[in-house]
Structure 1
Amino acid sequence: MENSIYNSMIAANQLLEKQTVISNNLANISTTGFKEKFNYALQNQYVKNLYKTYNKITKEYHNLSPGTLNYTKRNLDLFVQDNGWLTVKDINGQEAYTKNGHLKINLKRMLTIQENEVIGSNGSIRIPNNVNVKILSDGIITSIEKKNNSFFKTKIGALKLVRLPIQDLIQKENGLFYLKKNNLFKNIINHDDSIHVKSGMLEESNVNAAKNMIEMISNSRQFDIQMKMISICDKNAEYANQLININN
């Protein structure tokens, strides 16, 4: 009976963890470039003292399929093609990766994504004052200036576009992706010339709202069942104690 209660508690805890992940997916359904997340719990079972005991291993997976495209016609909005990623520097100075192509220029004239500095193929990218910026398909950033009825193009820098090993990716609470410490690339990925971008459009979240809502309802019902199982086992234990007391 104690084993049944234990198993129900383990199952209920796993369902709560799943609900947290699903809630986060639904909360980010409008977040540009957000990737749907899944948690799978694996159990290693062995027998100890006549009871089954479990070692739980939780693995994190992401649905990296592209989201729908939103045509914004804004020069600093980018869609990264060919399974590519944009590279940024987080608040701790660590290299990170994102699918969010909504670029902005901060007060220091640095190119940023969600307040994280965008890393170029040769370092950070600073945008000069009073210029029109255009990003080419190969990630090269140019400024367009008009002088004496003529237009002049000047290269400002180039985006660092990378292709990442999916099996080595982890996502942190800031929404950015990182390479696991034990990866073969020593946490640094080089620029990939084969990756291209399209300006004037953004990749939206790939969260399937209907699917996540159905899973949330299903998990909620399963959680209720586990709670009922615990309650039934507890009542049975009470009845058994009462019978033992009467017989004595």
Structure 2
Amino acid sequence: MDKALYVAMTGARATLQAQGTVSHNLANADTAGFKAALANTEAFPVRGPGYASRTAALHIDQGFDARVGAQQVTGNPLDVSLQADRWLAVQAPDGEQAYTRAGNLSLTPNGQLVTAGGHPLLDPQGNPITLPPHQSLDIGQDGTISIVPLGEGAATMAVVGRIKVVAAGQEQLTRGLDGLMRQADPQQPLAQAPGAVMATGALEQSNVDAAGALVQMIQLQRQFEMQVKVISRGDDNAQSANTLLRLSGG
């Protein structure tokens, strides 16, 4: 009976972990450029002495949903929407290079270009981008940044930098605990994406299906309740069996 209890327990644990993934997706349903996390379970045979009759449930991380989210036109020159499989290169809190599709950019008081999360954008050389004082700014489709300096006319617009945008498929990236993507294989650096990589004045929304996620939460809750009942029934059966053994021994 203890075997059934342990198997049901692993299923309940995997269900709780899946609920955590779905909750995280729902919390980011309004986060620009967010990619829904995917989770699943797989059978895991329990190894050890004796007959191989036990199979536990194991929660596995299946990466993220790479589909492009809905587009929202904002007209803000600092909002960018990336083409499919294109990622902005940013500086992560640990100083390493990471990637995001969150295109709602902003400028700090000292002119540094950052994401909504405060992560500095990088240029093709891997340096944080800082812009000089200007009266207007334009980000081209290839990521080039042009400004009109303070006190100058539109004819004096000059290119002052370029945003690093890399090309990477779903299998080349893994999500970190800080929500940023990183290379799945550090030995294979991601290259600068050529040509038009973005549109300005628009934002990519989260690709989380909020209604579908809510339905999934309900299904997982019912599944968890069923697994808890199996554990409870197994415990009741074990107590009944122990009682019968004591009576027969008496």
Q: 1:55 to 1:216 in 2, by over 3 A?
A: closer
More strand by share: 1
- Mapping for residues 121-140 of structure 1, pairs under 5 Å: 121-122=124-125, 123-140=127-144
Query: For 1:1-248, what aligned pairs fall within 5 Å after superposition?
Result: 1-45=1-45, 48=48, 49-50=50-51, 51-52=53-54, 54=56, 56=58, 58-113=60-115, 114-122=117-125, 123-145=127-149, 151-180=155-184, 182-185=185-188, 188-248=189-249
Contact 2:10-2:58 at 8 Å conserved across structures: no
Matched to 1:117, the amino acid is: P
Query: Which amino acid in structure 2 is aligned with residue 197 of structure 1?
Result: M
1:158 and 1:19 map into 2 onto residues whose CA distance is 40
In the alignment, structure 1 segments of 5+ residues that lack a partner are none
TM-score (ref. length: structure 1): 0.92
- Indicate the larger mover: 48-57 or 60-69: 48-57
Report SS of the residue matched to 2:122. Answer: strand
TM-score for the superposition, normalised by structure 2: 0.91
**Residue 183 of structure 1, CA deviation:** 4.8
Contact in 2 for aligned 1:84/1:195 (Cα 8 Å): no
- 1:15 Cα deviation from its structure 2 partner: 0.1
Shift of 1:149: 5.8
SS at 1:118 equivalent: coil
Mapped partners of 2:47, 2:95: distance in 1: 47
Change (3 A) 1:232 1:173: same
Shift of residue 57, structure 1, vs aligned partner: 6.5
CA pair 148-192 structure 1, distance change in 2 beyond 3 A: closer
Identity, % of aligned pairs? 27
2:8 aligned partner, one-letter code: S
Q: What is the CA-CA distance between 1:130 and the residue it aligns to?
A: 3.0
Q: State which drifts further: 227-236 or 34-43.
A: 34-43
- Partner of 1:92, secondary structure, is coil
Q: CA RMSD in A?
A: 1.9
Greater displacement, 44-53 / 228-237: 44-53
Letter in 1 for 2:224: F
- SS of the residue aligned with 1:162? strand
- Name segments (4+ residues, structure 1) moved above 4 Å: 145-150
Structure 2 counterpart SS, 1:178: strand
Amino acid at match of 1:5: L
Q: Deviations for 1:104-137, whole angstroms, at most 9, x for unmatched residues?
A: 1112211111211100123322111133110011
Which shifted more, 127-136 or 5-14? Answer: 127-136
Task: Find the aligned partners of 2:58 and 2:151 in 1 and give their Cα distance.
Answer: 67
